[in-house]
Each structure stands twice: as C-alpha cells, then as structure tokens.
Amino acid sequence: MDFEPRYTPEQEEFRQEVKAWMKDNMPPGIVHPADPIDLTEEQYQLRREFGRRLGAKGWLWPTASTEYGGGGLDVDHSVVLEEEAEAAGLTIPPFYDSGGRLGGASIVVWGSDEQKKFFLPPIFTGEVRTWQLLSEPEAGSDLANVKSTAVKDGDDYIINGQKVFVGSSLGCDYMWTLTVTDTEAKRHENLGWFMIPSTLPGITVQPMDLLISGGESGAGSGVKNTVFFDNVRVPAFNLIGGHNNGWKVATTHLELEHGTGGKISRNTVVDRLFDYCRSTNRNGQPITKDPDAREKLVEVHIEQEIVRLLQLRNYWMRHSGVTTTYEGPQASYMRKTLGLKMSRHILDILGPAALTFDPKLGAADGHMEAHSRAGIIAIHPGGTTDIQKVIMSRRIGIGREVREKAGALS
Amino acid sequence: MDLALSPEQEMLKTAVRRFVQQEYPKETLLQIASPTEPTPEGPWNRLTQTGWLGILIPTEYGGEGGSFTDAGVLFEELGRGPVPGPHISSAVVAALTLLEGGTEDQKREWLPRMATGEVRMVAAITEAEYGWQSTDVHLTAKQNGNGYRLNGTKAYVYDGEAATHLLCAARSDESNDVGLVIVPADAAGISARGLPGFAWNLSEIAIENVSAEATQVLGGEFAGGWEALERAQQKAIPVLCAYQVGGSQAIYEISVDYSRTRHQFGTPIGRFQRVQDQIINLLNNLDAARWTAYEALWKLDIGREAADSVHLAKAVGSEGYYEACNFAHEVHAGVGSMTEYGLTLHTTASRTLYHYLGDPKFHRRRLADALGL
C-alpha cells in the first residue's frame, strides 16, 4: 500500500514548467471572497482570462482529448496542475463551469462527431462558460420528473418551461438541459438532452434569493438562478444523444456529479478554522488551549480525515481502473455531512462570532460566517444526502439479489 | 499511490480467511465463549503451527519479520471470527515491547518462544483506577536484595487468564520510575480470576509478594520501561484497529445477507429505507475505520511520524466497531440477540476492545497534543 502520490522525475520537471508558466500568466490581483456571491465582474473576468490562457495551453481541461481542444494529458500531469492551482488558492477551471467536467463528458460519450467538433473545443479552451439546468419546481431528487418540454418543429425544437437552482452570477454562454421530448413515452424514455446557446430569444435568467448558494470559496457559484424558456427555438443539431435518449446521456454526468471522481485536496475551511483558533486569543490564551474548543477541533479533524481518506480511495480507484459501486455516493454523503457537523462545531467553538462577517467582530474574514450558512445548504446540491444513501443501497444490493451497476463514465 | 494489497498480502488474506472458516467456525467460537463448555485446544494449537504469531517478530528472533501492513491483513482476518487470543496481546503488544525495550538476552530468551506460541506473554498494565498513563500504575516493586518484590493488583487485563507470562507494569519503590517486569503467570503469589459478565477475556490479577530477579526487569532497569511500552503501543494499536475492522467487515456482510433473506410485510426487509440506513451507517463506520487503520499501518511501514494517525485510527476504530455492532443489531432485531446467531460474539468483543490500549476519549486527547493544539 502507498497512500501518497509519488512524483516521477518527469512530473517534477512538469511541475517546474507549470510553476514558471503560472508565474508569467496568472493575472495579478485575484482575491477570494468568503461568499462567492461577492465575486465582482472584474474578478470574474480575471479568472476567465486566466482560463483562456490555460485553455490555449491545453491545461484548462488537461485530461480532455487534444482532438477537441483538451490537453491530452494523463492523470499524473493533471494532478500536478491541480496542485499548483490549489497552491495559488484556485481550482482548475478557475471559475464555476459545468461544461468541461459534466456536460462535456456527456457530449464526449453521446455526441456525434460533428457535435463533438462543434461544442467541445470552445468548452475545453475556455472560450465559453457553460451552466447545467437540471432541477425544476417539480423535479428535485426525482430528476426524471422534469416537466419542461421540447416539441419538434421542422428542423428545430421549441422549448418551454422553467429550471431552478441554475448556474452562478455573471452569466454564461451555453446551457445544457434535460426536457420532455415525448409526453406519451414511458418514464426515462421520454427525455431529450440539449446544448443551448444562452443568447437565444425567449430565455430569461432571474437570480434566486437564497441563504447561500452552497459553493465553497474559489470556484463557488455565487448566486443560483431561475431560468425561463418561453418558446425558445433550438436547432435539432443541439440535441445530444438522439430523440428520447436524454436520460442515458444524463446518467453519464450524474455519475460524475455523485462524487466518484474523488479528489486529493485539502478542506480550506478546516485550515482557516485551525489557523484562526491558533492565532486568536480569548480569555488571555489561544482558543486552541481551551479544553472545550480542543475537543471540538479534534472532532473536526477526525471527521475531515475520514472524508479525506474516502476521497483519496475514490481517486485511486478511478485512476487505477478499479470498479466502483457505492463509493462515489458514500464520499458525497460523508463530505456533505462533515460540512453540516462542522458548522455546528464552529458555532460551539467561536460563538456568535461565527455568525457575522462584521470586520470588527466576525471571525476569519467572514469565512466562518459563510460556512455557517453553507453547512446546511450544501448538503443538497448534486443529490441530497438521503438520495446518496438511496443510491448506495442499490449499489450494495441491500434487500436485492442484483446490485445496480454504476453509470458509464467514459 | 496504490491502495491495493500486494499479491503476497492477498495470498495471506486468502489463507487466513480459509483457516478461520475451517478452524474457527461459529460453533467453535460459541463453544470457546461459553462459560460452561470446555475450550477446544485444537484450533489454537494449529494457529500456533502456522507461524503467523511471529509475523512482527524479526527473523533473527525466530519470527517472520513481516511488515505492519502484513500484520494488519492477518489480524483483520482473525477479527472476522472474532478469533479470541492471546494473539495480539502477546505476539504484537508484548513482542513489540520486548523489541523496543528488552535487553538482547531478553529478546533471545522470549521472542522465539512467543513466535511459536509456546510462551504467551501478556502485558498487565491497568489497575482498578483504570487508565493508560504511567500515573495510573500503583503496583510497587520494592528492592529485595539483588531483586524485587512486587505487590499490587492488576485489573481489566486483556487475555490475562490465557497468559503463561505477565509483562507487569510496576512502580519502583526506589526511583518512582514505572517499568515492566516479566513474571511467570504461575509464580507463587499470583492469582488470576476472569471477570464475569459482558467483559471479553478480561481478568483481575492479584500479585502478592512476588519475587523477581533484576534480569526479569525489561531492559534491566525501571527507567525507560514505560516509554518502551508506549512506543510499542503506537505500533500495536493500528494492528488492533485492523482486527476491529475485520469484525465490522464480517457483521456488515451478514447484515447485507440478512436484508435480502429476511422477509417481513411480504418483502425483504432491506427494501425498507429505515433498514437501509442502518446498513449504510454500519458501512460508513467500517470504511472510516478501515482507511484510518491502513494509513497508520502504512506510515509505520515507511518509518514516518505516525502519532496523529495512530490516535486517529484508535479513536475511529474503537467507535467504528462499537457502532457497527449496534447498527447490525438494529438490522437483525430479536434474531441478533440470540447467542446461537453469532452477532453477539462481535458485540461482546467490541465493548472490551473499545477500551483496550486506550479508549476514544484518551486517544482524542493524545491526538490534540499530536496536532500541536
């Protein structure tokens, strides 16, 4: 067994190349607001510019195929890129985007050659930012229950309906979505998966008023929107995977969203909490010397370590080709419940200083206040914790003779 | 990064699993656990013949010289039984303590015989005012000519009744240092009694005026003995955690099986989400314990500072096994409470192992120290 990524001399050489390149190409002045909703247009454009530079280099979506504008790199190289971006407080991509990891993955699997050539290069080179439009007022955990419609009309589809919890602040270039293409067909055989330019007439984006959007600092989404489709005419070319085949197309990105990929990065909220408690005095001593606070901090550490190890396991499974079953939804469940438990521990340790970003009384530049809100909100996006348990049960085969298989990844 | 077992470890795992199925089926385990039936000696004798008890003992002292991860694999499979000791207590805890603090003569005298199981040496540390710190040791060693006289009572000694020798923590009357003294379990003045009830292989051992030569003191002196024990525990704990993981793994599997075969309200009970929740909670505890244990074992193998991982593993491992048993009971309801079903073997083990080598509260405090809080 070996729990540590090992770097070959070639990787270390690549790291030096990445470091030098980032030094020259990362736009100066990037800052990280505690709540992504405070990301300014100017800050967003800095990130997009950096994204385009990464894209031109093939480093925005490093493992995507070079045929479609990706980097064609293996996991060993993408790990180095992710680590170097993380060292700068960023992710890859450095802004909220549902195109490369989720929508793009579905297009790679289900798109025609022509569709792949048309849609993928702008995504993988960072020319466009893409949102996913899945939930609807009547379709939350039961995504297949979407009610928005796409009706064939000549060479086009006419789309009507409403999507909720969409995207981010500051707009997008493309939207991908799931709608009913056949009102008579059976469940799961009645849907279409569309890639839609956001500039088409009839599309309205309206920000939702939420406690918080649930994203973590860095590439968080900021706001969520309601998107209305009012007789939006979309060319049939933009239907991916064929008529009534949308559910299968969706399973590809749903599987990815349920956390199978795994990652090996640190939880920055935990780091900020520990730093704050070490460096802040209360009653004449650092918070870390208070027996009650120590107990809670250790609890946070333990829970975080468990999540780190489960994500590490998933990362290893994915990259070494080991078949996964329940592990993706398990890591998602554990990560989300960690976030919720942490918000309680933070409240216990810091008291009401955890509830304000007031510059005088708030803790850790507002990051604790933001997490206090995010803890309860972030357990639902990408499948609620209860849904993760439902998926786990099916994959394990609890009460069933046949274990459900994990969805296709590539 | 590679989280797979090596081919050799996979072979070991398969061999131990087959051995446990063959030698320690449920019927045998129930017979051993029974206070009235005689304990069959065959399975233990055959376990000693495998050489596995020497897994952590270097080859120069007659062992196999395996890695900590190898030991984790072995004891995880024994934990599936759960196969009762004295294996971890002697071949891991006491053997590692001898390696850490014994004189060369002591290592040569004891380790080869511990590898074969001929000597079953058990560390007797805790007393009635229970605790795993040196300040909790009150048993005294009083200078008596060239040797010592030991007086005191050890309590909650795991595998104490099965021991041929005790590695007894004692406080020097002279220097106040806490060291370890090797005494034969049948020496005059020593009497052990098993503790009745829910305790699993725990005993009280009274030590009255027991004589010991200076050569019986670990390392030849009291100073440094306790520190050797602590270093040994740091290495032994992740192996114990793997044993707990094996227990949780076994009851996870029987719980999934039961969810498929037990019907109520006309359907397998596993179709009910309340029942599914119990099994998923069990699995989450199991996986948390598994990966914290094996990461600690890996750190020990590569010689990295492992204190934080060791304390993490025991806190998570002890709670994991305890909780896993509770969730399994929720799945099985009345059936799980029947001794003949076998689940209670684990439930009983999980409670005693919760405390053995330190409970979660103790290790959480140590973890806070290790994190520099």
Q: Which of B256, B294, B367 is nearest residue A398 as measured by Cβ atoms?
A: B256
Q: How much is the pLDDT for A90?
A: 86
Q: For the domain made up of B122-221, give the CATH fold.
A: Butyryl-CoA Dehydrogenase, subunit A; domain 2 (2.40.110)
Q: How confident is the model at residue A216 (pLDDT cuts 50, 70, 90)?
A: very low
3-state SS class at B145: coil
Asked if ipTM goes beyond 0.90, one says: yes
Question: CA–CA separation, B87 vs B75, rounded Å?
Answer: 9
Q: How far apart are CA A17 and CA B140, in angstroms?
A: 65
Residue from A298, A299, A323, A389 to probe the interface with B (highest B Cβ count within 10 Å):
A298
Residue type, A201: P
The reply to whether A50 and A18 lie within a common domain is yes
CATH number for the domain harbouring residue A32: 1.10.540.10
Strands B121-124 and B263-264: unpaired
CB contact under 8 A, B2 and A320: yes
Contacting residues for B294 by C-beta, under 8 A, at least 6 apart: A1, A3, B3, B69, B72, B238, B242
Sign for the CA dihedral angle at A282, A284, A287, A291 comes to: negative
The Cα of A136 is separated from the nearest Cα of chain B by a number of Å equal to: 25
Residue A407 within any structural domain of the chain: no
Q: Of A83, A99, A124, which one is at a domain's C-terminal end?
A: A124
pLDDT band of residue A258 (cuts 50, 70, 90) is low
Closest to B150 (Cα-Cα) out of B169, B176, B130, B125: B169
Every domain of chain B and the residues it spans: 7-120, 122-221, 227-370
**CA angle, B283 then A258 then A139, to 5°:** 115
Which CATH code, of 1.10.540.10, 3.40.50.261, 3.40.50.2300, 1.20.1600.10, is assigned to B7-120?
1.10.540.10
Residues in B touching A329 (Cβ below 8 Å): none
Check B368 against A294: CB less than 8 A apart: yes
Q: How far is CA A321 from the centre of its chain?
A: 22
State yes or no: cis peptide before A291, omega within 30 of 0: no
pLDDT for A220 beyond 70: no
Task: Characterize the bridge pairing of strands A156-166 and A174-180.
Answer: unpaired
Count chain A–chain B contacts defined by CB atoms under 8 A: 125
Residues in chain B, pLDDT under 70: none
Interchain CB distance below 8 Å, B259 and A398:
yes
Contacts of B364 in chain A (CB under 8 A): 295, 298-299, 302
Contact B1 A4 (CB under 8 A): yes
Beta-bridge partner residues of B7: none
Which residues in chain A touch residue B260, judged by CB atoms under 8 angstroms apart?
397-401
Amino acid B368: pLDDT: 97
Contact (Cβ atoms closer than 8 angstroms) between residue A77 and residue A11: yes
Smallest CA–CA distance, residue A307 to chain B, in Å, is: 8
Best residue in B256, B257, B273, B280 for a mutation probing chain A (most A CBs within 10 Å): B280
Q: How confident is the model at residue A6 (pLDDT cuts 50, 70, 90)?
A: confident
A408 lies in a domain? no
Q: Which residue of A has its CA nearest to B264?
A: A399
CA distance, residue A391 to nearest chain B CA (Å)? 11
With an 8 Å Cβ cutoff, are B279 and A396 in contact? yes
Looking at residue A66, its pLDDT comes to 95
pLDDT of residue A402: 78
User: Residues of chain B whose C-beta is under 8 A from some C-beta in A?
Assistant: 1-5, 69, 256, 259-260, 267-273, 275-277, 279-280, 283-284, 287-288, 291-292, 294-295, 297-299, 301, 312, 315-316, 364, 367-368, 371, 373
Which of residues A100, A124, A148 is at a domain's end?
A124
B312 → closest Cβ in A302, A322, A392? A302
Range of the domain at A55: 9-124
pTM given for the model: 0.92
Q: Identify the CA nearest to B201 among candidates B87, B92, B349.
A: B349
Determine phi and psi for A180, rounding to 5 degrees: -80, 125
Residue of chain B with shortest Cα separation from A289? B373
End residue of a domain, out of A225, A246, A267: A246
- Please give the tally of structural domains in chain A: 3
Instruction: Please state, in angstroms and rounded to a whole number, the distance separating the CA atoms of residues A78 and B91.
Output: 45
Confidence of residue A25 (pLDDT cuts 50, 70, 90): very high
Residues A175 and A72 in one domain: no
Domain B227-370 sits in CATH at 1.20.140.10
Answer yes or no: is pLDDT of A215 > 70. no
> Per-residue confidence at A403, pLDDT binned at 50, 70, 90?
confident
Match 């939006």 to its residue by tokens: A232
Residue of chain A with shortest Cα separation from B312: A302
Option in B280, B291, B316 nearest A302 (CB): B316
Percent of chain A clearing pLDDT 90 (strictly above): 72
Beta strand residue intervals within A104-216, DSSP E: 130-133, 149-153, 156-166, 174-180, 191-197, 203-207
Angle made by CA atoms B72, B299, B307, in degrees to the nearest 5: 100
Q: Which residues in B20-177 belong to E strands, given as ranges?
A: 121-124, 140-144, 147-158, 165-172
Among residues A405, A317, A267, the alpha carbon closest in space to that of A75 is found at A317
- Torsion on CA atoms A31, A34, A39, A43, rounded to nearest 10: 10
Q: Which residue has the tokens 């439902």?
A: A390
Whether residue A3 lies inside any domain: the answer is no
Q: How far is A327 from chain B (nearest CA, A)?
A: 10
Q: Do the chains contact at A393 and B270, CB–CB below 8 Å?
A: yes
Same domain, A163 and A110: no
Query: What CATH number does residue A200 fall under?
Result: 2.40.110.10
Q: Position of tokens 């199981």?
A: B117
DSSP state of A96: -
Inter-chain touch B269–A399, beta carbons under 8 Å: yes
pLDDT in tens, B240-271: 999 999 999 999 999 999 999 999 999 999 99
